[in-house]
Amino acid sequence: MARPIALITGASSGIGADLAREAAKDGYDVVLSARRVEPMQALARELETYTASATILAADLCRPEGPAGLVREVEQRNLKIDLLINNAGLGANGLFAESDITRIGEMLQVNIVALTELTRLILPAMVSRKRGRVMLLASTASFQPGPRMAVYCASKAYVLSFGEAIAYELRNSGVTVTTVCPGATATEFSRVAGTENIGLHRGAMSSVMSSAEVARIGYQGTKAGRRVVITGFMNRIMASAARVSPHAMVLPIANSMMSTR
């Protein structure tokens, strides 16, 4: 029998690359997509040790035409996606009034628009076959407003709300949707987003996880069909506290955690 196929966005490094490893170890062939090709080529060679074949499709999801172009390439190669992992995401740290407007647009495009569009384009075939899994990468930032990362936190709140809603819609379809919410994770995302030295990474409550650990937990939760997966014990406590605490209490705490001072 043909191996099932997983499509992973943001697969050039970090959580995305580790999710590709999890899928390959579990018997999937993979479609790797990101802007940078060379890291994906190295990953593809590594995945051969799991007897997985890897198709590399370069795509820039910052561009409005990126998601449709990626799906068009998938269809032209007659690749039937059994597992969609919407991992690509962008972040930025700083006061909103001083933020780069171009970066804001890119965050909204990748974190919300591209994720939504890819899910909409891939999902109908899964529903028709009455099988498939979708993973959406959100964040523990989904659970509260985030001063100094206002757009990023708001975009991840969208992902969580969107994921839970469509998971319910699909509850009797044979297709599952899992929203994975990592906390602080050791990846290059922090360097690019300017969050390496924020309080969240430095405080006594900090619990920075490896991308491999986050990928393993998220993948197992997706395989089990769970609707929401929060990675790590401390992250689960913080997310639960944010959900029930008044914003008057949450906002100054979040501001301190996102501050580099």
- Residues catalogued as catalytic: 152
DSSP label at residue 4: P
Q: At what angle do helices 211-223 and 14-25 cross, to 10 degrees?
A: 50
Answer whether 183's CB lies under 8 Å from 140's CB.
Answer: yes
Conformation bin of residue 148: beta by default, left when phi > 0, alpha when psi is -120 to 50:
left
The dihedral built from the CA positions of residue 56, 61, 64 and 68, taken in this order, carries a sign that is positive
| DSSP state at residue 114 | I
User: Residue 150: which residues within 8 A CB-CB, separation 6 or more?
Assistant: 96
| Rg of the chain, C-alpha, whole Å | 18
What span, in angstroms and rounded, lies between the C-alpha atoms of 206 and 191?
A: 17
- Three-state DSSP at 86 gives strand
Q: What number of CA atoms fall less than 13 Å from residue 90's CA on the CB side?
A: 21
The CA–CA distances, whole Å, from 20 to 6, 43, 171, 248 equal: 8, 9, 26, 40
User: Which among 155, 164, 161 is positioned nearest to 109, based on CA atoms?
Assistant: 155
CB 149 within 8 A of CB 92: yes
Q: For residues 22 and 5, what is the distance between their CA atoms, to the nearest angstrom?
A: 13
